[in-house]
Each structure stands twice: as structure tokens, then as C-alpha cells.
């Protein structure tokens, strides 16, 4: 095979030259900057103009005022809205309540998601694993509103929960904060299960076996090997449940009874009260809380291994 | 204690659905032995190792460790430790924490476990890397950390699952020597799984050759190499020239498959006449230079294509002519008759 075979060389056609597409390919291959520009310009334009600028405009609105006589927005730069939101008793109470609900939802979701995700990633066979992924995703195919109203009917005084609990002397919590926490926990559970499942999938089985091999029982293996390695994924899941709960206002409207969350205050100020600057100032609260949460998580070093 | 084998497997069987990975294995491994399980992938050798470690439960049969039945006990209750193929070092722990893990789990005090972990690291010459993370080590270093981690808890039996598979050739040869030394120093039983026949021959006191979930042959390296019991073993352990039944009569003058190792054959221009030496005529088709040896490929007139391994002497340099007529000869005692499967 070391000598060249002229017959075979003739049979293979040489690469075709010329042609617009081919010249374009050659240009992009030899000009990496042009390649980068072509690839990123459209998504960057979308991200910067449509997404970030729109958000910034809303936040800038927080420093404007509303003319109390005409109801028009006036560009008078002021910190009044911020001061109102930070010092007002109503806003403090609602902020604490919202953070409490979001924290409770997050704790419940992580507690539910961990065993489910562990079972999916490490125990179930390939067939059961696929079925469970679909089962977890399935609720996401249904409308948010449908699910919230379904919980409204479940939690009502003559609903299925009351019917199930009354024989053992318990009762449905009715509409209120508890109902809000239950419903939000249900709504965001898939968003917590999936990242934890993906994180546990990346933990090699051999690490769990190695821990058992070295004498580690189930609990020790969980605590010293599985949880530390899954921690970034758990944090990713909590970011979903926590931030989605902070911003929610529909669920609390449907099952929350008279309770209000930050989202409701934003909603009433945009709508009924027609005070967009105050609404924007209120909207800054969950953003600030999420930034604080991310900074806290980052300091634990959990995100270094992502 | 001394009258018990380190490991005794009785009728050990493992089925995965319709597949029988391990098929009624009976095996005794003596204390202090360097025992290898050799076979191609899918031959069941790794499954046997995992059954001994306790990561899998057998479908039937028993596993005994120094006379005690451990078939149904959990991995963490068995006094065996494993060196994993991918090393399985905990990525979030430093090297010393990895090595000390088994001691921490056993409730050994902080000072003592640090002491013992450092000694185990010193044994594999890694004490200066104690505070690094596994990701900052090379493949060979990780391998040695895995060894230190498995031996620091002083197991009675050390299981090694293709531990050298991911290393390059030079490092592998160096680690083979280190493994052998370590085993001699610790005096514990090593059970070594590999698909590399050369590695198994180099390291082992005894080897079990696995094929389709069964032990095809069990013996010392010399027995396996010189007297393979079957066509599979002859072919898998080392390279050999196999003569099918159809050639046995024409070449050897009797029936039944047989094999001859390439280095047992010699070449000459004319047929030799010594007593106990037989020969066959053929044509030289290829000469392959291997450095320490020369391999010649010959088409026998009345037989298959065979290969002959010769030492690389200066005298052989010039005779690499393709197409030459040659006589291949062998001593009768170098012929290995192969038992047909099931016969």
C-alpha cells in the first residue's frame, strides 16, 4: 500500500472550487471575527435592546413621579418612591410575607425533589427513568391558570382535600397563605426536580460505590459524597422556586384569599392606582432580594463547580 | 483462620434479565495470593469482582470471605476494598481527605487518621500532594491515591478493577512493578481484573481465564501459556498459531486441533532431520521488524498462514526476502493439543 495507485487517484474527484456558498464558507473559515459577528449579532441585539433596555426603562421609572392631578408621569427625579417602599409598614410586611412564602415553597420543593431526583438518577432503570422525566414534565404542558384553579377547587371547603381529611379530624387550610404555599410548591416542583436530577446524573455511580466500599453507610454516603456534589444543582433549583415565588401574583389571587404579595402590590399600582413609578419601585424589591441571594450562594463557592 | 481460603465462591451465578453474566463459578483464592481474572470485555470477570465487593447481589451461589458467608452483607460490612477503574476519587475532597475517608467513616480520631493517611500517601510517594484536589493530579498520581485510599483501611482482600487501563504504556509498566511490590509488602490478597493478558502474566501467581461467564482455565501464568486447555485460552493468552482439525492430519499426522507458539517454531532452508522434530514447507510472505524480535509470516503449503517469532540476531538481517521457500520446524513437545469445546 505504500506505492501510489494512479487509477484510484483519478477515480476520486478533486474538491469542487468556486460557487457563492463555497466562497462564503472560505471567507468565514479564514475570518474568525466575521464568524463571531455573524453568529452573535442577532441574539445580542435581542438581549440588549428588547430585554435589558426594557427592564432598565422600567427601573428608571421608579425615580420619576406621577402628577397627582392629571395622573400623567412626570420626569422629576426623586427618591420618594424608594423611600416609601423601604420605610412603609405595608411594604415591609408584604415583603417579609413574600420572602417567607418563597422560602417555605423552596424548602418544601427541595425536600420533595431530592428523593424523587435521587430515585430518578440513581435507582430507577432506564425505562422507569424516562417515564419519570415525562411524568415530571407533564404538568408543565398544562396552563398555569388551569393548575391554579384546580388547586382552588381542591382546597375549597367542599373540595376533595376536605373530603379526604375530615374522617381523620383534619380540615382543608382554606384560602390563605398556606394554600398559596401549597399551590406554589406544586407549580414550581418540576423546576426544582429537573436541575437536581441533572446534577445527580453527573455524579458517577462509582463514587457512591467507593463510599460504601470504604465503609460508609447510606446516610454517611448521602451526607459526605452525594449532597456536596449535588449542592450546586440544588442551589440552581432553589433559585428557580425562590425567584418564581417572589414574583408571583396570580396564584395568591386565586387561592390566597385576602393575602397580598409583592406581585399584587405591583399589579394594583400599575392598574387601579395608576402609579407606574411606585410599581417600579416595588418591583425593585424582589430583584434586590434575588441579587442578595445569588451573592450569598456565590460566597459558599457552590457555583464554582457548575 | 489459616485453613480458610481468602475468598471462596460456590456456584456463583448472576443474571441480568435474559443475560447470564456469571454462570456457576466455583473458585478458591488463597490468602496472600496475587490472583488475576483475565478475559475479554463481557466475559463476566468484572461482575465477579462486583459480586465479591457486594455492589451486586448474586442470583444464586455464595461468596465466602475467610470462611464467613458474606453473600447477603452490604459492601460497607465486607472487609474488602476496591480500586476502581475510573479511580472514583471524591472530587470535592483533597487528596488526604480522600485517603482518610475510610478512617473517618470508622470513627478514627482526627490526628490518627491524618497520620495513617500520610503514611499511606508516603507509601505511594505522594505525601507532597496531600492538600491538592484530585483534578490537579495526573492519571498515574490519581491511580496511586486510589491505591492509598483502598489500602489505608487495611482490608483483607484488595480488589482491582482494570486499575491500569487508563494509563499509557510506560506508566503502566512502572505501576505494574509498584503494584507487585505493594502486594508483597502488605501481604494481602490482590484480586486483579484485566483484559490485558501480558499484564496478567507479568503480575499474577494464578490466573483465571474468563469466557462467557465461565472460567475457561485456571492456572499459573506458565501453565496457561505453555499448556492452554482450549482454543480460546490459546488464542487469548499470548499469540499463537492455531491449526484446525482439517490441517491436523496433513501437518501433524494425527487428528484434533492443536496450536504452537510462534517463538517455538524455527525456520530453515531445508527440512531438518533430527529425532523428535517435525517440519512443514511453506512460502515466506512477510517479515515484520519488532525491535527485540523479528516476526515472519509464512503460508504453509498444506496448512494455514502462521507466524514465527525469531530473536533479533545480527545474522538474520539480510534474509528478509519475500517469496522464499522455507521449512518451518518444531519439537513434538511444543505441540499443544486443544480440547474441542465440550469434548
pLDDT, tens only, A158-215: 888 888 888 888 888 888 899 999 999 999 999 999 999 999 999 999 999 999 999 9
- Residue in chain A nearest B97 by alpha carbon: A224
pTM: 0.80
Question: pLDDT 10s digit of each residue in chain B, 343 long?
Answer: 456 789 999 999 999 989 999 999 999 999 999 999 999 998 999 999 999 999 999 999 999 999 999 999 999 999 999 999 999 999 999 999 999 999 999 999 999 999 999 999 998 889 899 999 999 999 889 999 999 999 999 999 999 999 888 788 888 888 898 899 989 988 899 999 999 999 999 999 999 999 999 999 999 999 999 999 888 999 899 888 888 877 777 777 677 788 889 999 988 888 888 877 888 889 999 888 888 888 889 998 888 899 999 888 765 555 667 788 888 988 888 888 886 554 4
Nearest-neighbour CA in chain A from B324: distance (Å): 21
Q: How many residues does chain A have?
A: 306
Would you call A210 and B86 a contact, using CB atoms and an 8 Å cutoff? no
Q: Which of B74, B86, B91 comes nearest A212 by C-beta? A: B74
SS3 B244: coil
In tens, the pLDDT along B119-175 reads 999 988 898 999 999 999 998 899 999 999 999 999 999 999 998 887 888 888 888
Chain B contacts to A (CB-CB under 8 A): 53-55, 74-76, 80-82, 84-86, 88-92, 101-102, 105-106, 149-150, 153
Name chain B contacts of A228, Cβ cutoff 8 Å.
92
Mutation target for A interface from B65, B75, B80: give the one with most A CBs within 10 A: B75
Radius of gyration of the CA atoms of chain A, in A: 27
Nearest-neighbour CA in chain A from B43: distance (Å): 20
Nearest-neighbour CA in chain B from A122: distance (Å): 14
Does the structure show a pLDDT above 70 at A16?
A: no
Mutation target for B interface from A2, A211, A214, A226: give the one with most B CBs within 10 A: A214
Would you call A204 and B88 a contact, using CB atoms and an 8 Å cutoff? yes
Return the number of CB contacts < 8 Å for A and B. Answer: 63
Nearest-neighbour CA in chain A from B81: distance (Å): 6
- Residue in chain A nearest B106 by alpha carbon: A215
- Residue in chain A nearest B52 by alpha carbon: A213
- Residue in chain A nearest B80 by alpha carbon: A213
Name chain B contacts of A211, Cβ cutoff 8 Å.
90, 101, 105
Q: Which of B84, B86, B153 comes nearest A215 by C-beta? A: B153
Question: Contact at 8 Å (CB) between B23 and B212?
Answer: yes
Mutation target for A interface from B74, B92, B103, B166: give the one with most A CBs within 10 A: B92
- Strands B189-194 and B34-38: what pairing? parallel
Helix, strand, coil share (%) of chain A residues, nearest 5: 75, 0, 20
Q: How many Å apart are CA B60 and CA B24, to the nearest integer?
A: 8
B166 Cβ neighbours under 8 A, 6+ residues apart: B85, B86, B139, B143
Q: Which of B55, B91, B102 comes nearest A214 by C-beta? A: B102
Beta-strand ranges (E) seen in chain A are: 65-66, 73-74
Q: Which of B53, B86, B92 comes nearest A228 by C-beta? A: B92
Nearest-neighbour CA in chain A from B271: distance (Å): 34
- Residue in chain A nearest B74 by alpha carbon: A212
- Helix A262-270 crosses helix A227-247 at what angle (to 10 degrees)? 30
Name chain A contacts of B82, Cβ cutoff 8 Å.
209-210, 213
CB atoms within 10 A of CB B49: 21
Q: If pLDDT is split at 50, 70 and 90, which confidence band does A7 have?
A: low
Category of A42 on φ-ψ map: left (φ > 0), alpha (ψ -120 to 50) or beta: alpha
Beta-strand ranges (E) seen in B244-324 are: 258-260, 266-268, 277-289, 293-300, 305-311
- Residue in chain A nearest B55 by alpha carbon: A209
B243 Cβ neighbours under 8 A, 6+ residues apart: B251, B252, B257, B258, B259, B260, B303, B304
Would you call A214 and B153 a contact, using CB atoms and an 8 Å cutoff? yes
Q: How many Å apart are CA B155 and CA A215, to the nearest integer?
A: 11
Running DSSP on this structure, what letter comes out for residue B35? E
Name chain A contacts of B94, Cβ cutoff 8 Å.
none
Q: How many degrees, rounded to 5, is the angle at CA A79 between CA A76 and CA A80?
A: 90
Amino acid at each position: 500500500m505504500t506505492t501510489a495507485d494512479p487509477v484510484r487517484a483519478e477515480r476520486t474527484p478533486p474538491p469542487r472550487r468556486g460557487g457563492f456558498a463555497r466562497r462564503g464558507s472560505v471567507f468565514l473559515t479564514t475570518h474568525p471575527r466575521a464568524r463571531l459577528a455573524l453568529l452573535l449579532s442577532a441574539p445580542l441585539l435581542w438581549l440588549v435592546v428588547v430585554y435589558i433596555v426594557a427592564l432598565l426603562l422600567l427601573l428608571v421609572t421608579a425615580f420619576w413621579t406621577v402628577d397627582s392631578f392629571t395622573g400623567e408621569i412626570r420626569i422629576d427625579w426623586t427618591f420618594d418612591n424608594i423611600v416609601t417602599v423601604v420605610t412603609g409598614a405595608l411594604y415591609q410586611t408584604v415583603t417579609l410575607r413574600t420572602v417567607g412564602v418563597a422560602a417555605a415553597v423552596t424548602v418544601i420543593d427541595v425536600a420533595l425533589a431530592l428523593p424523587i431526583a435521587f430515585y430518578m438518577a440513581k435507582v430507577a432503570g432506564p425505562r422507569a427513568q424516562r417515564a419519570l422525566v415525562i411524568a415530571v414534565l407533564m404538568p408543565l404542558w398544562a396552563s398555569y391558570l388551569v393548575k391554579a384553579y384546580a388547586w382552588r377547587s381542591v382546597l375549597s371547603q367542599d373540595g376533595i382535600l376536605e373530603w379526604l381529611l375530615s374522617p381523620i379530624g383534619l380540615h382543608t387550610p382554606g384560602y390563605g397563605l398556606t394554600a398559596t404555599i401549597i399551590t406554589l410548591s406544586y407549580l414550581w416542583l418540576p423546576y426544582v426536580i429537573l436541575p437536581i436530577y441533572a446534577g445527580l446524573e453527573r455524579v458517577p455511580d462509582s463514587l457512591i460505590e467507593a463510599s460504601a466500599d470504604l465503609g460508609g453507610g447510606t446516610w454517611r454516603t448521602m451526607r459526605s459524597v452525594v449532597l456536596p456534589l449535588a449542592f450546586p444543582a440544588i442551589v440552581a433549583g432553589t433559585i428557580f422556586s425562590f425567584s418564581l415565588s417572589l414574583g408571583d401574583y396570580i396564584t395568591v389571587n386565586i387561592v390566597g384569599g385576602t393575602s397580598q404579595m409583592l406581585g399584587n402590590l405591583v399589579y394594583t399600582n400599575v392598574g387601579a392606582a395608576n402609579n407606574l413609578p411606585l410599581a417600579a419601585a416595588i418591583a425593585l424589591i424582589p430583584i434586590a432580594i434575588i441579587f442578595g441571594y445569588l451573592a450569598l450562594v456565590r460566597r459558599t463557592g457552590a457555583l464554582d463547580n457548575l | 483462620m489459616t485453613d480458610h481460603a481468602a475468598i471462596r465462591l460456590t456456584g456463583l451465578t448472576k443474571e441480568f434479565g435474559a443475560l447470564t453474566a456469571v454462570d456457576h463459578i466455583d473458585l478458591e483464592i488463597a490468602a496472600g495470593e496475587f490472583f488475576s481474572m483475565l478475559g475479554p470485555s463481557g466475559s463476566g470477570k468484572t461482575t465477579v469482582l462486583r459480586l465479591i465487593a457486594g455492589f451486586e447481589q448474586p442470583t444464586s451461589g455464595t461468596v465466602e470471605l475467610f470462611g464467613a458467608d458474606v453473600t447477603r452483607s452490604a459492601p460497607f460490612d465486607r472487609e474488602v476494598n476496591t480500586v476502581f477503574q475510573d479511580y472514583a476519587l471524591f472530587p470535592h475532597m483533597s487528596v488526604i481527605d480522600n485517603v482518610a475517608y475510610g478512617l473517618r467513616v470508622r470513627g478514627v480520631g482526627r490526628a490518627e487518621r491524618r497520620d495513617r493517611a500520610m503514611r499511606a500517601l508516603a507509601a505511594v510517594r505522594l505525601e507532597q500532594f496531600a492538600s491538592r484536589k484530585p483534578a490537579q493530579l495526573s492519571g498515574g498520581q490519581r491511580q496511586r491515591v486510589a491505591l492509598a485510599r483502598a489500602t489505608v483501611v487495611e482490608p483483607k482482600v484488595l480488589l482491582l478493577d482494570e486499575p491500569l487501563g487508563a494509563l499509557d504504556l510506560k506508566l503502566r509498566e512502572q505501576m505494574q512493578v509498584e503494584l507487585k511490590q505493594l502486594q508483597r509488602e502488605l501481604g494481602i490478597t490482590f484480586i486483579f481484573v484485566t483484559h490485558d493478558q501480558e499484564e496478567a502474566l507479568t503480575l499474577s501467581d494464578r490466573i483465571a481465564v474468563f469466557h462467557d461467564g465461565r472460567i475457561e482455565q485456571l492456572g499459573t501464568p506458565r501453565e496457561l501459556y505453555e499448556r492452554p486447555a482450549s482454543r480460546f485460552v490459546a488464542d487469548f493468552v499470548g499469540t499463537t498459531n492455531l491449526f484446525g482439525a482439517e490441517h491436523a492430519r496433513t501437518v501433524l499426522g494425527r487428528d484434533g486441533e492443536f496450536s504452537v507458539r510462534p517463538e517455538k517454531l524455527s525456520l530453515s532452508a531445508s527440512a531438518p532431520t533430527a529425532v523428535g522434530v517435525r517440519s512443514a514447507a511453506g512460502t515466506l510472505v512477510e517479515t515484520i521488524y519488532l525491535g527485540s524480535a523479528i516476526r515472519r509470516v509464512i503460508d504453509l503449503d498444506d496448512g494455514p498462514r502462521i507466524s514465527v517469532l525469531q530473536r533479533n540476531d545480527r545474522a538474520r538481517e539480510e534474509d528478509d526476502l519475500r517469496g522464499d521457500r522455507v521449512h518451518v520446524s518444531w519439537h513434538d513437545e511444543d505441540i499443544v493439543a486443544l480440547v474441542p469445546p465440550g469434548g
